[in-house]
Every structure is written in structure tokens, then in C-alpha cells.
Amino acid sequence: MRSPRTNQMLNNSQTFLTTIMKSQIKSLKLKMWDCVWIGSLICYYISFFYYFTNAVFNNKFPPPTAIIVLIESVRLTMKSYAFIRSNVPRVLNYKSHSEKENPCPSFSKFLYFLFAPTLIYKDNYPRTRTIRWKAVFFYAIEFTSIILFISFFMNRYFLSVFQDYGKGPIPWKEVALHTLGNLPAGGAFMLCGFYILLHVWLNGFAEILTFGDRMFYKDWWNSTSYGPYYRKWNVVVHDWLYTYIYKDMYENVLPKNRFVPKLFVFFVSALVHEYILSVAFGFFFPILFLEFFVIGVTLVFLTFGGTFHGNIFLWFTIPFGACLAINMYCIEYFVRQNCPIENATATDFFIPRLLTCKQL
């Protein structure tokens, strides 16, 4: 017969093994549920982008309208990811018998976040006491005026110049001259885009929603290199990229490695910008991707020692990059309009018509 001590040891061993097995089964179930919900979230984002992309293609929106629709889809995606990323850890760490209140935010907080001019989710934001309707009115006047101004100089300096391209050989010397000659127009387009989106639009919505945090941009115009410029140009998007991509990747995926997360941030930014333009124009022409991911990353390493020479270089290259991108997209767009291909296939979406048009 077994001794009492032996029986006790067997019982303790059985208890230990049972506990380990239960914990492993529970852990396995949790991992399975994690995989299910992560897969569901990925499917949701894929179907979300597919719906907007399909809507743009099927309705044949003109490029400006398509860009607005696609930017809105990207904004909603960034908002939903920020909401999920901010609240899921709180819910998972919550204990049912805890004295803390339920971590799940109310729908009113989510609804306010959807329209608030920020991409970082918080339960509460700084709020102003009143709405200055006079300021809202002037923001609306500014918005309308800038739209008319952009429409004027886009037609004057870009569309009217390239509208006949594709009907004959492209005069590349003239393209180079137009690129250099239109540097002021490229700079004006960049400044108008910055002012209408990051100042007028966001401040207008902030005023209507009594949103108190108005730090949408910093003094990027005083930057002496591209590193500070990227951080100051668009604080709203920069904060989202830093919080939900760079920081997560640096802390959880590649600790003590700053370069790869930074490179991945540039890649995501370039990919999203290229997605918007490719779908809006109806062709893949990765000029903006190259400017963002290749040239943009390279220019970060040019610091100029913090002197004014870097600021001069910045103010020359930004309009040049904007002008070059607008010129090339306009040329490819009008070449496709004036030199159509019968029985076009899916590969024609990715092959520049500049290289395949027989009229050139």
C-alpha cells in the first residue's frame, strides 16, 4: 500500500498538472480568439478600402472628387484604428471586481472623436467654453477663396499647358522649363494646401466642436533640415504615425532599433499617398512614392549643421518636388486621355502610358 505521504505527493502533482493544463487550454483559447478578432479586423479594413476604391472606379469620379473621398476613407481608417488601439488594452486589463469604472468608452465619446480634428483618441479633450461663430464664418470665406485660387492657377499653370500632351511627341525640354518656371506655382500650391487643410479646415472644425487643442502644425517654415520639417509640417498625422506605428514597433517589435521603425513610418506614409493618387487618377505612377520614401528618407540625413543654408535648400526643394509631381501626373493623365488603348488589361494600370503610347 502507498504511504500517506506518497498519496499527498501524487495529489499535489495531479493538482499541479491539472492547473498547468487548464492554464494552457485557457491560453490557447485566448490566442485562438485573438487570431479570430485580428483576422476580422484585417478583413474589415480590406473590405473598407475595397468599397471606397470600387466606388471611385464605378462612379468615375473626377480626380479632385476622388481624392476627397479617398482622403476621407483614410481618415476614418486612422480614427478607427486609434480608437481600437487605445481601448483594447484597457478592456483586456480590466478586472470585473475592480473598483474602477467600466473602461469601455460611451458612444458619444466615439462620435465626438470621429469629427474632432485629431487622430489620437482620448476620453476627454481640452474644450473651449463658447463657439466663435464670427471666426467660423471667416474660416468658411477663406476656404472658398482658396479653393477658387487653387482652381485658377491649376488651370493657368498646369492643366492648360499639358492638355494636348499625348497627341504627338512630348517636348521634354519644355517640360523641364515648365518645371523650373512653375516653381512659384508649385510653392503656391503647397502653401495653399497647407493653409486650407491644416489651418482653415481644422481650426474651423475645432471652433464648431469647441475643441481646445489647436496645435495642428508648428513653425516648419523655420526648419533648417527635413527632419524637423517632417515633425512640424503636419502635427496631426505625425502624432498618429509616432504613437501607433513608430512607438508600437519600437517598443514591441524591434526594441532598441530606431531606424527600421522610422523607415517603416516613411513607407506607410508614402504607400497611403500613392494609393490615394493611383485610385483617384486611375493609374499607378509612383512619383510621389519615390519622393516620399526614397528622396524623403535620404534628405533626412542632410542637416546642414543647423544653418540658414538648410532653410534655403528646404524652400527650394519643396516647391520643386511639388511642381515636378504635379507636372508628371498631369502629363501621364492627359497622355492617357489623348492616347487611349483598346482592350486595356489590368497591367495597363501599372505601366505608364508615356512608355507605351505609339503616338509619342
97 is known as an active-site residue: no
% residues pLDDT > 70 (the chain): 88
Residue 78 has pLDDT above 90, yes or no: yes
- Report, as an integer, the average pLDDT of 177-190: 86
State the chain's mean pLDDT as an integer.
Answer: 85
- Residue with the three cell numbers 462620435: 111
- Report, as an integer, the average pLDDT of 286-295: 90
Higher pLDDT, 97 or 75: 75
* Residues facing 211 on adjacent strands: 127
Same domain for 149 and 219, yes or no, is yes
pLDDT tens digits for range 117-153: 999 999 899 999 999 999 999 999 999 999 999 998 8
pLDDT tens digits for range 234-269: 999 999 999 999 998 998 888 888 899 999 999 999
The grid cell for 209 is: 466642436
Same domain for 10 and 85, yes or no, is no
Within a domain: 331: yes
Same domain for 148 and 256, yes or no, is yes
Confidence class of residue 3 from pLDDT cuts 50, 70 and 90?
low
DSSP structure string for 29-68: HHHHHHHHHHHHHHHHHHHHHHHHHHHHHHHT--HHHHHH
Same domain for 37 and 143, yes or no, is no
Same domain for 70 and 31, yes or no, is no
Within a domain: 220: yes
Rounded-to-integer distance, Cα 104 and Cα 48, Å? 24
pTM value surpassing 0.75: yes
Within a domain: 97: no
Same domain for 163 and 282, yes or no, is yes
Same domain for 158 and 11, yes or no, is no
Same domain for 225 and 312, yes or no, is yes
Rounded-to-integer distance, Cα 356 and Cα 344, Å? 12
Residue 277 has pLDDT above 70, yes or no: yes
With H, G, I as helix, E, B as strand and everything else as coil, classify residue 41. Answer: helix
- Give me the domain span that covers residue 46: 1-60
Task: Give the chain's count of helices (H) and strands (E).
Answer: 16, 0
Within a domain: 70: yes
Same domain for 75 and 136, yes or no, is yes
- Report, as an integer, the average pLDDT of 175-196: 88
- Report, as an integer, the average pLDDT of 43-71: 90
The pLDDT, as a whole number, for residue 329 is 92
Residue 354 has pLDDT above 80, yes or no: yes
Within a domain: 96: no
Same domain for 129 and 262, yes or no, is yes
Confidence class of residue 275 from pLDDT cuts 50, 70 and 90?
very high
The pLDDT, as a whole number, for residue 99 is 62
Confidence class of residue 94 from pLDDT cuts 50, 70 and 90?
low
With H, G, I as helix, E, B as strand and everything else as coil, classify residue 210. Answer: coil
Same domain for 47 and 184, yes or no, is no
Catalytic residue among 199, 238, 273, 309: 273
Enumerate residues 6+ apart whose C-beta is below 8 A from 285: 277, 278, 328, 329, 332, 352
Same domain for 177 and 241, yes or no, is yes
The pLDDT, as a whole number, for residue 186 is 85
What's the structural domain count of the chain?
A: 2
In angstroms, the Cα distances linking 259 to 176, 203, 244 are: 35, 34, 16
- Report, as an integer, the average pLDDT of 305-321: 88
